[in-house]
Amino acid sequence: MLITMVSLSHHLLVCLTLPLLAALLARICKADVIFPFNCSSQQIKKCDAMLYHINAGLNDDQIASFYSVDPSTFRPISHGKNQNYLIPVTCSCEDIGNDTIAYFYDVSYTVKEHDTFQDVSTSIYSGQALEVGDEASSFNPGNKVPMNLICGCMESQSKTIVTYTVQQGDSLTSIAAQLWTNIKDIERLNSNLTQNPDFIISGSVLYVPMDNDRIPAPRKRGGGSKWTILIVVLSVVAFFSTIALLIFLIRRRKGKKMSVEDPKPLSKSMMSGRTFSLQTQFPYTKNMEDVTAFESEIPMIYSLEEIEEATDNFDERKKIGSGGYGYVYHGILGSKEVAIKKMKSNKSKEFFAELKVLCKVHHINVVELLGFASGDDHLYLVYEYVQNGSLNDHLHDPLLKGHQPLSWIARTQIALDAAKGIEYIHDHTKARYVHRDIKTSNILLDKGLRAKVGDFGLAKLVERTNEEDLIATRLVGTPGYLPPESVMDLQVTPKSDVFAFGVVLAELITGQRALVRDNKEPNKMRSLITVVNNIFEDENPEKALEEVIDGSFRGSYPMEDVYKMTELAMWCMSDEAVNRPEMRDVVLALSQIVMSSVEWDASLGGNSQVFSGIHNGR
């Protein structure tokens, strides 16, 4: 009997203690993740601020009602595939008791059945409401209760503080990239960050200073749509009318030139018996559509004789590259150095893929297509000649290939150049393309060691819709650079290129190949992706990183910037495509790394071989 009573009292004690312990833990955890922005010593009593709202399924009018704002002021901002909002509010310095004098934006909320303060703060206000202490007693159905949403003010007229709630998969690098700021500015405003600044908890709240000129424009609602449609339709009609007129004039001029001024190209083709037209070689409707698709872009059409003359009849000494598609030769056409890719006619799919992309893509960081030719059972693509070969040759055994090892400064600039080229085909062309074979051997370096993305033989068009996944019919690309979704589900999205670019960044940092033979098990290959994962799984990631940094640097590198680039590589190589950044985010992050690295180099006297080239080049 005594034992039974002791047992009952023990259970009663546990039942009473557990809720109290849970409440205490919740309060402790909440205290760890939300800190009001103190204003007791600030002169600014009121300012414009932004609250980052994580959309949990509410419509615009519901969100506007909860925040007591006009929905037309919302600034759309993406996080992965989620459409979130920056909500402009007036932030005021307030004394809310408990010795708390801080910046807040206050709203009223009408409590519903089963509501709790924590649930409302999380689901409606993105966890940005500060718990004062008496919420348990006031949170009764029907009551109107104040919600003190934390915000911040700063003296700078060019920046606005965004109250940001950390989301799953976030790091300081990704947050800085998303809100167009830098990590040091975030750290300055958030003194609660730990010594490892990327150890941030999902649900914690940070103050992020955002440049005013980077804040997205409000989304237009309602009126004016008819006028917009009319203007777009008229613009499209005018554009195609102009294109049609240009094609007519060019064809007419070209026809006169061939028949009167110089009949030689035509007679050459007829006499040789080896040169054939693309139309006769590919009579199928699909391929003829491919031809007309790039006709309006007017690439130069060369004769086979011109190609042979340019390469000394494809002299072996002129060969500068090879691959599954065929060979690349150095040549001279007129007075211009060119690179000529020679492909078997059964590679017509890759041939047309490159033509369709490169005829429409013109960017300083993308290899330029000059023209094409066909003949003797082969297809030929003529590119600008990029003098210093591939990045692969400069990273892996460079001395054996006649190159000096690349400095850290050169590598950061190469990374930024290549990222800009990929970003361009993803975001800035009329049609959106996925390269599908980003790797160091497809990144070429000019005489100033500036990078250009090449080899678009596997490129795919991806529609600009919400559902961008494209299912490939076969696995293409290069082992070591393929993301999980491509290997397992044959999915192709711009995020496939982002993953591969992450591997390129890892190669730039470590000097290792994407796939290397495992020292412990020689019969197995080890992925560079695993090497980077192991760095961040280590108790001391900085030390683990130092052990794999390319030895050719000989200790000459800024550790902070190398660490940031490694974090960026890790972000790009996230297993889930939705957790990877867009290439525009990568470009921003690399721009900051380049600037910081150049400052580091300048502090050493700017003596590196590449330092002056960065400023005197393009």
342 is in an annotated binding site: yes
Q: How far is residue 416's CA from residue 427's CA, in Å, rounded to a whole number?
A: 16
Q: Which position among 437, 455, 561, 585 bears the catalytic label? A: 437
Fill in the DSSP letter of residue 162: E
Say if domain 391-616 classifies as CATH 1.10.510.10: yes
End-to-end Cα separation, the chain, in angstroms? 90
Collapsing DSSP to helix, strand or coil, 552 comes out as helix
Residues 500-546: tens digit of each pLDDT: 999 999 999 999 999 877 666 767 778 899 999 999 999 999 999 99
Distance CA 47, CA 302 (A): 64
Sheet architecture: strand order including 378-384: 300-301, 369-375, 378-384, 336-344, 326-333, 319-323
H/E stretch holding 84 reads strand 82-95
Phi, psi of 592 (to 5 degrees): -70, -40
What pLDDT is stored for residue 197 in this prediction? 55
Contact partners, residue 230, CB within 8 Å, separation at least 6: none
Q: What is the dihedral of CA 379, 384, 387, 390, to 10 degrees?
A: -60
Q: 10 Å Cβ neighbour count for 545? A: 20
**Residues 165, 128 contacting (CB under 8 angstroms):** yes
Beta-strand relationship, 319-323 and 300-301: unpaired
pLDDT digits (tens, 9 = 90+) for 201-256: 788 899 999 988 888 888 765 544 455 555 656 666 666 667 666 666 666 555 54
CA distances from 585 to 80, 175, 180, 362, 422 (A): 11, 10, 9, 21, 12
Distance separating alpha carbons of residues 349 and 476, to the nearest angstrom: 13
437 is catalytic: yes
Give which of 80, 87, 45 is closest to 65, Cα–Cα. Answer: 87
Going by C-alpha positions, the residue among 476, 459, 449 that lies closest to residue 391 is 449
Contact 556, 408 (CB under 8 A): yes
Q: What is the mean pLDDT of each run of 10 residues along the chain (618 residues)?
A: 44 43 39 74 87 92 93 87 90 86 94 91 94 82 93 90 89 80 84 61 89 80 51 64 66 50 37 39 39 48 91 91 78 90 76 70 86 85 90 91 92 96 85 84 93 75 47 59 75 88 96 81 81 93 94 92 96 92 94 93 67 37
Please name which of 489, 485, 514 lies closest in space to residue 580, comparing C-alpha atoms.
Answer: 485
Phi-psi region of 127 (alpha: psi -120 to 50; beta: other; left: phi over 0): left
Q: What is the pLDDT of residues 313-331, one digit of tens each?
A: 999 999 988 765 778 899 9
Which pLDDT score is estimated for 281?
42
- CA 567, CA 565: separation in Å to the nearest integer? 5
Provide the β-strand partners of residue 18. none
| Per-residue pLDDT, 574 | 92
Domain with CATH 3.30.200.20 in the chain: 263-384
Residue 413, pLDDT score: 97
Cβ-count burial 190-214 (b if 16+ within 10 Å, e if not): beebeeeebebeebbbbbbbbeeee
Q: What is the 3-state secondary structure (H, E, C) of 489-528?
A: HCEECHHHHHHHHHHHHHHHHHCCCCEEECCCCCCCEEEH
pLDDT for the residue 216: 85
Helix (H, G, I), strand (E, B) or coil at 347: helix
**Token pair of 576 as six digits:** 């889930």
Query: By C-alpha distance, which of 546, 568, 541, 556 is closest to 597?
Result: 556
Q: Start-end ranges of CATH 1.10.510.10 in the chain?
A: 391-616
Reading the block at residue 255, the tokens are: 């026809």
Strand partners, 527: 515
The answer to whether 80 and 579 have CB atoms below 8 angstroms apart is yes
CA distance 385 to 444: 10
**CATH class of this structure's domain 263-384:** alpha beta
Report the pLDDT value the prediction gives residue 107, as an integer from 0 to 100.
94
Tokens 């005829």, located at residue: 359
Q: Are 611 and 598 a contacting pair, CB within 8 Å?
A: yes
CA dihedral 345, 350, 356, 361 (to 10 degrees): -130
Residues with Cβ within 8 Å of 321's Cβ and at least 6 positions away in sequence, in order, are: 327, 328, 339, 389, 390
pTM for the model = 0.54
